[in-house]
Amino acid sequence: MNPTQTHVSPSEPAAADRRVAQEAEWDRREQVRRAAEEERQIAEEQRLTAEELRKQTEDLRAAAEELREAAEANRSSAEQARGAGEALREATEEARHAAEMLREVGERQRAAADEQRRILTEILATLRAQGAGQAKT
């Protein structure tokens, strides 16, 4: 209302203006409070996300270390297996050589036995011949 009207006091428009200004200030403060709360929530979410990322990074580092240790153990096992394979190849070669030697010894023993049999057969034949000759006399 206009303050020049007779039934309106001049202080009413000023009070209304103050009320409007005060409500505008409250609205502005509420907006600032909401914005600050939203920023705080965003900051908290970012902090939690950063913590999760740090945790995931730590977990990945631990997993990488476990993989490195497993790879080292595998390398060590592979080296041991190579050593065992080489020892097995050497033992196989030695066994092959020993088998060859045994085969040769066996052949020599068979040849010697055959020779002894031949000699004994000749001796026996000679003895029979002598025995037959003596029996005639």
Give the start-to-end residue ranges of the domains of the chain.
Answer: 13-137
What Cα–Cα distance (Å) separates residue 18 from each residue in 14, 25, 33?
6, 10, 22
Count other C-beta atoms under 10 Å from residue 134's C-beta.
Answer: 8
Predicted structure pTM score: 0.45
- For residue 84, the model assigns a pLDDT of 97
pLDDT value, residue 11: 67
Query: Could you read off the pLDDT tens digit of each residue along the chain, which spans 137 residues?
Result: 454 555 556 568 888 889 999 999 999 999 999 999 999 999 999 999 999 999 999 999 999 999 999 999 999 999 999 999 999 999 999 999 999 999 999 999 999 999 999 999 999 999 998 887 787 76
The whole-angstrom separation of Cα 46 and Cα 40 is 10
**Matching residue, tokens 């995931």:** 56
